[in-house]
């Protein structure tokens, strides 16, 4: 009995020691952990999450940007006439085709209080009269200050005594993929329409020597020339095109970046045409397959396949095989990004070009030169300005030299001849050639005056 009682007392004493140890060491530490978690309690974390949600997708406020933009976006009406195509009967019997009035509509953005308006070139093309209607229903006749087909940008001017609401150009280089944007315009003659979306991509080329902002904000016929703005109401693009098999919006819309549009407008106002800076390279994008064929490790950047003679790139020491990685502070992952940045510069501007050369990063300062070679509209002729050697060889000081032609013109033996006149209009350089060739009709006859290497004049008539 005493033995059992002794065992009981030992067990009780051991239990007391165990319980005391638990209280002293383990329970005290657990309580501290709880106290530590209470410094940032769960309920506060939930409250912060709710607040963050409040600033998310469902709570983005577009009203400020919309109010700022709608009064600065105008409705543009293009009044023109069309006689239709000519026929052999017209020539022999003197038939005169009846003029058919045509009306086209689009949008524009007021960019100054005194009435300068930016729109698309295709909105105002072939207009005999242009009417601009403001958001307050006032209508004005507009004149074309200048236009550029390559960028599809045009500048209009209306005369008014009142100060107009306007939008200032934002910095499209700072636009981010995924950023919310508004498209404001006049689709289907529905004036002052606002749609929302995000920036889907940047530097889209669409097969053209251009760089567009892609958005999924709804853009339809009539939106062309309208504003693309961010949630602050900053003008970051001019809505220009859609990709669609139906002619209506299916989810893909494209805008000329504001930095390009601004530079084009400034050139049109100051020079009357666009001053394009030339880097002086030929190249393209890289991928795994092409990089392997070229024996390089890079797959991001622009691979230089050729350096143009007497260009800024040649003078700066860029070489074939270099991979352009960065221009100034802008990363270059593909050719359209390079084109987009260069398009915002002028001849004489100096840019810093960072290249990868055999695994070594090099930086060169390149002075952009005036563009010397272009592809002409209507015909597709590739022409260049005359060099001093060309002037001496052909015995002329003005004109443009044909360096390449599309396949259909090969039978005319046009290469290495100098065009001096088109339809009686003299041509001094590629800018004048671009303008004159842009006026060529597909349905009429075009007369070219050319000089061959023997100094002889030749005349070609294309039907």
Catalytic residues: 122, 152, 224
Nearest to 312 by CA among 335, 361, 346: 346
How far apart are the C-alpha atoms of 48 and 330, rounded to whole Å?
Answer: 36
How far apart are the C-alpha atoms of 18 and 128, rounded to whole Å?
Answer: 102
Nearest to 114 by CA among 71, 167, 163, 165: 163
Kind plus residue range of the DSSP H or E element containing 68:
helix 63-70
Kind plus residue range of the DSSP H or E element containing 373:
strand 373-375
The dihedral of CA 38, 42, 44, 48: what is its sign?
positive
381 three-class SS: coil
Structure tokens at 301: 């950047």
**CB 180 within 8 Å of CB 196:** yes
367 three-class SS: strand
For Cα atoms 428, 434, 440, give the angle at the middle one, nearest 5 degrees.
110
The dihedral of CA 126, 276, 328, 300: what is its sign?
positive
CB atoms within 10 A of CB 47: 11
How far apart are the C-alpha atoms of 316 and 170, rounded to whole Å?
Answer: 32
Structure tokens at 314: 């040649």
User: For residue 74, which phi and psi values (nearest 5 degrees)?
Assistant: -115, 165
Going from the C-alpha of 172 to that of each of 78, 256, 346, the distances in angstroms are: 29, 9, 18
According to DSSP, the residues that pair with 384 across neighbouring strands are: 373, 401
How far apart are the C-alpha atoms of 84 and 82, rounded to whole Å?
Answer: 6
How far apart are the C-alpha atoms of 428 and 383, rounded to whole Å?
Answer: 12
């Amino acid at each position: 009995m005493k033995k059992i009682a002794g065992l009981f007392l030992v067990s009780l004493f051991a239990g007391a020691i165990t319980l005391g140890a638990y209280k002293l060491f383990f329970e005290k530490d657990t309580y501290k952990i709880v106290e530590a978690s209470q410094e940032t309690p769960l309920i506060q974390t939930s409250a912060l999450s709710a607040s963050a949600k409040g600033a998310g997708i469902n709570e983005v406020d577009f009203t400020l940007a919309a109010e700022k933009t709608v009064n600065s976006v105008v409705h543009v009406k293009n009044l023109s006439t069309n006689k239709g195509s000519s026929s052999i009967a017209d020539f022999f019997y003197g038939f005169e085709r009846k003029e058919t009035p045509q009306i086209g509509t689009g949008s524009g953005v007021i960019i100054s209080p005194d009435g300068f308006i930016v729109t698309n070139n295709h909105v105002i093309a072939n207009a005999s009269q242009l009417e601009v209607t403001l958001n307050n229903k006032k209508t004005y006749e507009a004149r074309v200050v200048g236009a550029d087909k390559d960028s599809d940008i045009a500048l209009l001017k209306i005369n008014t005594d009142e100060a107009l609401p306007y939008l200032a150009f934002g910095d499209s280089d700072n636009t981010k993929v995924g950023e919310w944007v508004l498209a404001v315009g006049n689709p289907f003659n529905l004036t002052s329409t606002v749609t929302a979306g995000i920036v889907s991509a940047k530097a889209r080329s669409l097969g053209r020597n251009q760089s567009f902002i892609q958005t999924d904000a709804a853009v339809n016929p009539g939106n062309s020339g309208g504003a693309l703005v961010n949630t602050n109401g900053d003008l970051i693009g001019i809505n220009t095109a859609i990709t669609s098999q139906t002619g209506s919006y299916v989810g893909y819309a494209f805008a000329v970046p504001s930095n390009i549009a601004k530079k084009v407008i400034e050139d049109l106002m100051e020079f009357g045409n666009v001053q394009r800076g030339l880097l002086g390279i030929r190249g393209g994008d890289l991928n795994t397959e092409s990089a392997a064929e070229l024996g390089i490790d890079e797959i991001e950047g622009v691979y230089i396949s050729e350096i143009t003679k007497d260009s800024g790139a040649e003078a700066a020491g860029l070489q074939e095989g270099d991979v352009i990685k960065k221009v100034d502070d802008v990363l270059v992952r593909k050719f359209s990004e390079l084109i987009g940045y260069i398009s915002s510069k002028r001849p004489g501007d100096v840019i810093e070009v960072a290249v990868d050369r055999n695994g070594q990063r090099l930086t060169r300062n390149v002075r952009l030169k005036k563009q010397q070679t272009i592809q002409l509209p209507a015909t597709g002729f590739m022409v260049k300005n005359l060099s001093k050697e060309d002037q001496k060889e052909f015995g002329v000081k003005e004109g443009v030299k044909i360096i390449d032609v599309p396949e259909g013109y090969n039978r005319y033996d046009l290469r290495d001849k100098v065009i001096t006149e088109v339809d009686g209009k003299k041509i001094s350089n590629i800018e004048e050639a671009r303008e004159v060739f842009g006026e060529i009709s597909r349905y009429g006859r075009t007369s070219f005056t050319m000089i061959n290497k023997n100094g002889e004049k030749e005349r070609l008539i294309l039907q």
